[in-house]
Amino acid sequence: MNDQNRREFLQNSGKLMGALALFGSGANPLNAQEGNKMTNLKPLTTLPTRTLGTSGIKVSVLGLGCMSLAYGLGPAVGKERAKEVIAKAIDLGVNFLDTAEVYGPFLDEEYVGYALSSSSLRQKVVLATKFGVHYRNVNGENKQVIDARSSEIRKSIEGSLKRLKTDYIDLYYQHRVDPNIPIEEVAGVIKDLQKEGKVLAWGLSEAGEQTIKKAHKELALSALQSEYSLWWREPEKSIFPTLKELNIALVPFSPLGKGYLAGALDENTIFQKGDLRPVFPRYQKDALKQNKALLNFLDEIAQTKQVNGKKATKAQIALAWILAQEDFIIPIPGTTKIAHLEENLGALQISFSENEMQEINKKLSAIQIVGDRYPAGSDMAKRVGK
């Protein structure tokens, strides 16, 4: 199925989508076709897959978070380096790429679009991006604002399609819940975008249990993107049961704690210009030092596991632990280095028995994590769990 035929198929399926039959059932004729298309364009390596909710869209069990290529963890790497990392990820079997219009802003999507400018590469991947968070001038200061009005979503999708050099988005997330716009209205806009062939599936990011249920009732959600890792297990309490009940995938960002769980940071780390981590309490010197108990425990586990005949790394243990929690979880570790990309994929060689997982989780529960995720009272803190 070429792009034009797929687009016509989506447009002619508008009534079906409007009735939620396409995304509300396990059988998905659209993604059966898309799956066949991707089968004919095999990467050099094939990875295990997991499915994005009831959409039928299958993705590699580890994705690639692309944010750090252009934003958030230091200077942007440049489009050629970004292309190299993304191309290598695809060669290694990673077919799930994640970005957002606010990363840069816009620059990260441009990098991803440049890397996927070959139509054959675009057809190999499941592409996720996000809408609803923008930079605007507020009282002379460039600040992030949340805006999920229909007109803004429309503007966002057109901008993302242009920057990503594509005519459809596989998975379109609302980046943060807008308290001023009912989630049912947002779902209605996405439903229209599906009818137009511009969006295949949708999701939320950092949303709370009640919003997830309301959104899913209006239009089946395929994924929730939220932070989840060895040092942030809050989603296990109420989010996991909700996702299980509704058959929605969890896509954890920062599964390696923005580098900390890989052993890449300590109290002596000097962060570069453009690195946002020093803003967060968990990356202050005292917290970085006091949380070493968790790193020591990771190293203890790593002593018992091997990858390619060598002792496993902290990063590999951290990712393998996430993958072992539930089969609806698809982490998206980010990196700017091919060596780290290859290291992360080594996590797929690690397995834990049920007894091992019980023992690991018991010991983890006894480790006190120092430092909040976001500064208390900040806009970042107020925007999650809504």
Q: Note if 103 is an active site residue.
A: yes
Paired with 143 in beta bridges are: 136
The strand pair at 49-51 and 223-227 is best described as unpaired
Classify residue 104 as left (phi > 0), alpha (psi -120 to 50) or beta.
left
Residue among 103, 111, 228, 260 flagged as catalytic:
103
* Cα–Cα distance for residue pair 330/323, rounded to 1 Å: 7
Angle CA(377)–CA(382)–CA(383) in degrees, nearest 5?
A: 150
Q: How far is CA 37 from the centre of its chain?
A: 23
Cα–Cα nearest to 168, from 3, 1, 2: 3
- Which of the residues are catalytic? 103
